[in-house]
Amino acid sequence: MIHVIDNHLAADCRALLQSMFADRKRLFVDLFGWDVPVVDGQYEIDQFDTAHAIYIVIADGDGEHEASLRLLPTVQPHMIDTVFRDLCPIGVPSGEAIWESTRLCLPQRHGAERRRELRNMLISAMVDVALERGIDGYTGVLPDPFRKEVLAMGWRAEPLGPAVRMPGGPVGAFMVHIGADTPVRLGWTGTYVDQAREMAA
């Protein structure tokens, strides 16, 4: 089941989000070695996990986190604007209709094939949310090899600057434009999939 969660404080979402934050800690801190905040020694929660964030979360049959990503409005503080501004030498796109996609969490326990399926499900849900809510584009930062893959998925997409070398390898910023034809375009590469979703207020 795919959950779109607008209120991270809602009681009925708390267990699923705790499971997500725990998986984020295992992936980003324990495996990747990121220097990011950890709460209570087990949850990766940073300064952008606020009431403004929207979470797209895939849950398994037991209601536990399988994969997720976070969407942030660019009219509020977000990662590119505050942490990675140097990746956008011609400026950081922002506005009511532009959101940032971040914290794509695909736990290693799933294996490569399942992670790819989960990734496509998350991207598809992200596109659906954009079409439903009047979002025209998403920005983001990714390791450069994955950024190249994202830019080639079929949607209208562009780099926001050159890849910049960092301790974990080169990273770069990007923007994808969302329109009525985006599901069809992503379908050309097998990225977009139709799926049931549950909205959480």
CA-CA distances (angstroms) from residue 39 to 22, 36, 45?
A: 10, 10, 7
Are the CB atoms for 159 and 179 separated by under 8 Å?
no
pTM: 0.92
The predicted structure's pLDDT at residue 124: 97
pLDDT tens figures, 148-199:
999 999 999 999 999 999 877 899 999 999 999 999 999 999 999 987 555 5
Helix (H/G/I), strand (E/B), else coil: 173: strand
CA-CA distances (angstroms) from residue 10 to 6, 16, 17, 43?
A: 9, 11, 10, 18
pLDDT tens figures, 108-140:
999 999 999 999 999 999 999 999 999 999 999
Structural domains of the chain, ranges and CATH numbers in brackets:
2-196 (3.40.630.30)
Under DSSP, the state recorded for 164 is B
| Separation CA 159–CA 18 (nearest Å) | 33
| Separation CA 85–CA 5 (nearest Å) | 27
The structure tokens listed for 83 are 């942490």
| Separation CA 151–CA 20 (nearest Å) | 26
The structure tokens listed for 97 are 């209709």
Are the CB atoms for 80 and 141 separated by under 8 Å?
yes
